[in-house]
């Protein structure tokens, strides 16, 4: 039995779960987690293709994506900390943060 389409469908579901999370949730950290779901599903698609096509470069790409995701998480945490610092000193109620 060829399982490749099944792997791809699982990762597609995961991807769209992430997209829905980004669009509907209002908490910055949950939005970021949903983005990680999207990245993971793309990685899964890459590895599935890589292994079924017998082409290792897909796995190398996943390796790069993971390193970049770690770098992004570091920058994201720094941004959240800087907001936290300013909000400790500023009045939270008066800040109308991020309309979109």
Partner 1 sequence: MTYYTFAFYAFAAIILLSAYAVVTSKNVIYSAFSLMLTFFGVAGFYALLGADFIAIVQLIVYVGGILTLMLFGVMLTNKITETEIKTGVFQVLPASIIIGMFSGVLIASISNNRWTVAEKLNNPQNSLVGIGSILMNEYILIFELLGVLLLIALIGAASIARK
Partner 2 sequence: MEMKDLFYAMPLLIVGGGILLILLIDMFFKGGKKIIPALTFFILLGTAYYSLFTINQLPIGLMPVSEFGLFYGMLSFGGKAHLFYFLFNFGSAIAVLIANDYLKKIETEYSEYYILLLSSVLGMMLIAGSRNLVMIFIGLEQMSISFYALAGYRRKNILSNEAALKYFLLGSFATGFLIYGMAFIFGTAQSMMLIDIFSQTSVLVKNPLFMIGILLFLIGFTFKIAAVPFHMWAPDVYEGSPTSVTALMATVGKAAAFSAILLIFVSVAKMGPNSVFSSMFSVVAVLSMLYGSIAAIAQKDIKRMLAYSSIAHAGYMTIGLAAVNPSGIAGIIFYLVAYTFMNLGAFGIIALLESKEGKFLSIEDYKGLGTRQPFLAASLAIIMFALSGIPPFAGFFGKYYIFLAAIQSGDTWLALVGVLSSVISVYFYLRVVVYMYFSKSDDESAILEISQTGLLAVIASLVLVIAFGLAPGSLIRLISGLI
Which residues in this chain contact partner 2 in the complex, by CB under 8 A?
15, 18-19, 22, 28, 31-32, 35, 38-39, 41-43, 45-46, 48-50, 53, 55, 57-58, 60-61, 64-65, 68, 71-72, 75-76, 78-80, 82-83, 85-87, 90, 95, 97-100
Give least dist CB 94 to partner 1, A: 12
At residue 1, the 3 state secondary structure works out as coil
Site for partner 1 in 11-50 (CB under 8 A): 12-14, 16-21, 23-34, 36-37, 40, 43-44, 47-48, 50
| Cα separation, 60 vs 95, whole angstroms | 43
Q: How many Cβ atoms from other residues are within 10 Å of residue 85's Cβ?
A: 10
End-to-end distance of the chain based on CA atoms, in angstroms? 46
Q: How many residues bind partner 1 (CB under 8 A)?
A: 75
Burial of 18 (0-12, 13-18, 19+ CB in 10 A): buried
Q: Does 71 bind partner 1 (CB under 8 A)?
A: yes
């Amino acid at each position: 039995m060829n399982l490749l389409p099944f792997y791809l469908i699982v990762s597609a579901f995961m991807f769209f779960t992430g997209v829905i999370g980004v669009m509907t949730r209002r908490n910055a950290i949950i939005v970021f987690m949903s983005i990680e779901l999207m990245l993971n599903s793309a990685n899964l698609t890459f590895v599935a293709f890589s292994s079924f096509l017998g082409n290792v470069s897909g796995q190398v790409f996943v390796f790069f994506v993971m390193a970049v995701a770690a770098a992004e998480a570091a920058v994201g945490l720094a941004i959240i900390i800087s907001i936290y610092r300013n909000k400790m000193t500023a009045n939270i109620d008066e800040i109308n943060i991020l309309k979109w």
